[in-house]
Homo-oligomer: A and B are copies of this chain.
């Protein structure tokens, strides 16, 4: 819960407010005044009685009761001020711009912790330190510019970086994107991006709250909280788009050195966003373009008319849309004939509809009207309209504005002449419109929006299974990779079928069992790790004589302690696995198995818990899926068995926290069953208390 003093303060004190507009305290004061904060405004400045026309107190102790403090004084001077405000002034909202805290050194980290504890224990809310502030309909508590156009229906923006937020707002202003509120969390000493998301979820009001949330994150600190509230917001009708930097290892290092943030490997983030129904992007321009598309319409159009007065960009856009799974359907001959009546000879009407460079605003209007009213096979219209630098576009932009306002089908405008008609584009935007300028960026973003879907069902939670024997075993196993028989025991307990196997150490033992074996069998060396690499696996053994011969050969391998005899299972080689990372649910993987794991890199992953639906989705995205379905005359594999294994691996990971890594490779999948043929499990025991 964010304290209302932070969200809707009736009084604000700028600690360190000044007349220098280049200083943080001076700049935020100007923004508060420019944005016309309606409550009481104070400044604390030891040298002034008035700053920018606002009453200034020489010391915080002299302040009247104050809801919110915006702090822009050096880190080392902050502690007594906060103590005073908490204890005597009823202040419960805090924004700290100052740096020199956790991102700097240990002293800073300690001070940050001390301040956070004080504010938290008083029930207050702290944004920062080391941020640029926040802005909403009530006040502009931000020291940077440009100030965005604040619009109740605008986008909510949560940013983990101040500079990125500024540059994003600048880019947003150029396309006309509006904002309802912006939060920058800086070091996230108390409130992180996840907490702001929770706040947006908790305070969401249908028909009133913003339906688009934009995130810039450098780390994910609480994946479960993010997941819970993202899914909840998605199910309330919100869309979320996120730019998460620190993608690569190198990028991660940079992110860590930047904010001292905890780092997550990117696959977990990818799976998290997928599960949460968050659209992921990789650049600031993608971020605002996707947010703008989401803001423009709640509809999910798939079939587009491209109306252009210039061939080239129309073709580029058509390429982009169709290559990304959207449709620019050919219009029927009847429609084309009708359109030809409206246009000059030579106009293209198949879609893209090219009204020609000489096409008029009046023709444009008629075409847009026709597309809306008569062309049932079209869900939305994209208009491309620039200027070669002669003639005027004012009338055409008026037409697009009117259509964007009144059309029942979404109308998007791509206005590429960012130099020739800069002024006209600016006027178009001022009327509340969005104006994109790059047809390729727009097309790729549109496709990302349209392929995104609301997570189905409530967040499914697995009740940990008891596996009573295994639970006890897991506590007893030493850390590290388990022995083959231990792995076998765990998989069996989890309900995952394993190939029948026996371990023999001597020739006598071997001969004793040789009569009861179900030939052909497989022989594998026990001891060394990468068995195939050292010719430690012999398949298709059909008789006792070969069995004995192979046994002797395998026992000679360096490190060999015994030989495993396993039933030989036919089928397609699948790989399934699981990995744990702090702060995240376990990640479950599935892909092409055997030696193909490394070569084909054909794998999909999803965060636990895995429902049958999740399993189906993972498998459906594998490139080897058609092979599992049975190509040519082959019988299809039992995919249900595979889905079950994936769910059981998920259950196992949720139930036995000591398992940090699990690989089943190969899992043999055939017409009948999915059978684990080789597997590895790594144990890392945690504190007893955390179990």
Tell me if B251 and A319 are in contact (CB < 8 A).
yes
Tell yes or no: A457 within 8 A of B by CB: no
A148 → B minimal CB distance (Å): 11
A601 to B218, CA, bound (A): 35
Tell me if A312 and B161 are in contact (CB < 8 A).
yes
A contacts with B, residue count (CB < 8 A): 109
Tell yes or no: A515 within 8 A of B by CB: no
- Contact pattern, A 279-314, Cβ under 8 Å of B = 1, otherwise 0: 000111110000000000000000000100111111
User: A315 touches which one: B103, B254, B420, B437 (CB < 8 A)?
Assistant: B254
A-B contact pairs, 13 of them (CB 8 A): A161-B311, A162-B310, A166-B420, A170-B420, A173-B419, A218-B311, A247-B323, A251-B319, A251-B322, A258-B315, A283-B441, A530-B632, A599-B631
Tell me if A174 and B386 are in contact (CB < 8 A).
no
Tell me if B311 and A163 are in contact (CB < 8 A).
yes
Contacting residues of chain A (314-372) with chain B, CB-CB under 8 angstroms: 314-316, 318-320, 322-323, 328, 330, 345-346, 348, 350, 352, 354, 356-358
Interface residues in chain A, defined as those with a beta carbon under 8 Å from any beta carbon in chain B: 21-24, 27, 99-100, 103-105, 132, 143-146, 160-164, 166-167, 170-171, 173-174, 216, 218, 243, 245-251, 253-255, 257-259, 282-286, 306, 309-316, 318-320, 322-323, 328, 330, 345-346, 348, 350, 352, 354, 356-358, 386-391, 416-420, 437-441, 530, 532-535, 595-596, 598-602, 623-627, 631-634
Tell me if A631 and B595 are in contact (CB < 8 A).
yes
Tell me if A388 and B143 are in contact (CB < 8 A).
yes
A422 — nearest CB in chain B belongs to which residue? B170
Known interface pairs A253-B350, A632-B532; A311-B259 also in contact (CB < 8 Å): yes
A244 — nearest CB in chain B belongs to which residue? B319
Tell me if B389 and A144 are in contact (CB < 8 A).
yes
Tell me if B535 and A167 are in contact (CB < 8 A).
no
Q: Which of A354, A416, A599, A600 has the most CB of B within 10 A?
A: A599
Tell me if B318 and A164 are in contact (CB < 8 A).
no
A196 → B minimal CB distance (Å): 17
In the assembled complex, which residues on chain B have CB atoms less than 8 Å from the CB atom of A99?
346, 356-358
A251 to B319, CA, bound (A): 5
A356 to B160, CA, bound (A): 16
A282 to B316, CA, bound (A): 8
A581 to B309, CA, bound (A): 32
Known interface pairs A283-B441, A315-B251; A146-B419 also in contact (CB < 8 Å): yes
A549 → B minimal CB distance (Å): 18
A185 → B minimal CB distance (Å): 12
User: A245 touches which one: B132, B218, B316 (CB < 8 A)?
Assistant: B316
A245 to B285, CA, bound (A): 22
User: A218 touches which one: B218, B315, B320, B623 (CB < 8 A)?
Assistant: B315
Tell me if A390 and B255 are in contact (CB < 8 A).
no
In the assembled complex, which residues on chain B have CB atoms less than 8 Å from the CB atom of A143?
388, 390
